[in-house]
Amino acid sequence: MTSIIKKSEGVLPWTVDSLDIVPAERGIYVIRNLPTQNGIVYIDYTENLQEELKQQWETKQIPDAVWFDWYQVGTKAYGEETLKTWIEKYSPKYNLG
């Protein structure tokens, strides 16, 4: 199974400029209200990281968004399995409701 291919260089500020450097590739993104592990409020998998994150920015679906990071993955199966594992591990509040 393919693992993480590329990831953001740390936790990035939730700004339009930061979203412009996200690749238009499949992967997992993590939205945070703090730049720490306990600040994770939402995690999701998408086929297009840049498009999905820009849509999240425009619709403001995650009101606590202040920081984010992303992880490009090689396969959909790996992305979905990793998403499930991370949701169980971190219990982000917007994934639980």
* 50: number of Cβ within 10 Å: 18
> At 53, phi and psi to the nearest 5?
-65, -40
Structure tokens at 53: 């994150």
| 39 DSSP 8-state letter | G
Distance CA 8, CA 17 (A): 14
Which mean pLDDT values do the consecutive 10-residue runs of the chain (97 residues) have?
Answer: 88 95 97 94 98 96 95 97 97 90
Decide if 43 contacts 95 (C-beta within 8 A). Answer: yes
Are 56 and 31 in contact by the 8 Å Cβ rule? The answer is: yes
pTM of the model: 0.94
> Residue 2's pLDDT is what?
66
Q: What is the pLDDT of residue 96?
A: 85
- Amino acid 1: pLDDT: 53
